[in-house]
A and B are shown apart, each in its own frame.
Chain A
Amino acid sequence: SQQGEEDPQALSIQEGENATMNCSYKTSINNLQWYRQNSGRGLVHLILIRSNEREKHSGRLRVTLDTSKKSSSLLITASRAADTASYFCATVFISGGYNKLIFGAGTRLAVHP
């Protein structure tokens, strides 16, 4: 089974509102990454947070990581219709000397104009 579990599975908001997505995982990680996938497209890397970091910002994105609770959250502020997509967290841990990514099931975000 996949390590990352995301919550909620689907989120519907109005433009201008904030969107928060959560990710929980089970084992120790090296880092955690968030990816975005538009319908019918590949995944695009958004942001990476290392296990020794607690918060990271990139434009309208804010990611937090709580390793004691094994959870992360992605906040998109002032959302736009163009933010409509699926968002996946990927937990990264070392296996056989190489980094291994395990993706969650994703949160489907719909931003309405």
Chain B
Amino acid sequence: EAGVAQSPRYKIIEKRQSVAFWCNPISGHATLYWYQQILGQGPKLLIQFQNNGVVDDSQLPKDRFSAERLKGVDSTLKIQPAKLEDSAVYLCASTNYLKGGTDTQYFGPGTRLTVL
């Protein structure tokens, strides 16, 4: 079974530029998450999708961050415009989560973003 795929693995941009990250979850996984992990910290949830609907985006800075999962499979996360403090690893995770069940998440390798 293939794991969660993410691209690119690394991205360096200037502040105020735009950037987009792509995630392909494990086949059949209905729930997809985007996390931001700042160096030395644990992952922080940005947005959670159930199929193509948003379940939780309470911590997504909506003035500059956007995410979509149009067909309920792949997802993209965009930052426009980027700030220095957006430098972090962006992790995508998926799970075959059922309401009331357990929630073991499978993570991709992440995209390391550096904003100069």
Contact = CB atoms under 8 A, between A and B. Distances in A.
A50 B44 CA distance: 22
Interface string A64-107: 00000000000000000000000010101001111111111110
Contact of B104 (A2, A33, A88): A33
B56 interface: yes
B56 A43 contact: no
A43 B93 CA distance: 9
Give the contact-size bracket for chain A: 20 to 34
B40 interface: yes
B61 interface: no
A31 B102 CA distance: 8
A57 interface: no
B80 to A, nearest CB: 25
Q: Which residue, A41, A42, A43, A99, has most C-beta atoms of chain B within 10 A? A: A42
A104 B42 contact: yes
Give the contact-size bracket for chain B: 20 to 34
A45 B109 contact: no
B33 to A, nearest CB: 8
A109 to B, nearest CB: 14
B93 to A, nearest CB: 8
B110 A96 contact: no
B110 A98 contact: no
Contacts of B50: 98
A105 B42 contact: yes
A95 B56 contact: yes
Interface string B44-80: 1100101000011000000000000000000000000
A2 B59 CA distance: 12
A4 B40 CA distance: 14
Given A98-B48, A100-B56, A105 B40 contact: yes
12 contacts: A2-B41, A33-B103, A33-B104, A41-B110, A43-B43, A45-B105, A48-B102, A48-B104, A92-B102, A96-B55, A100-B45, A103-B44
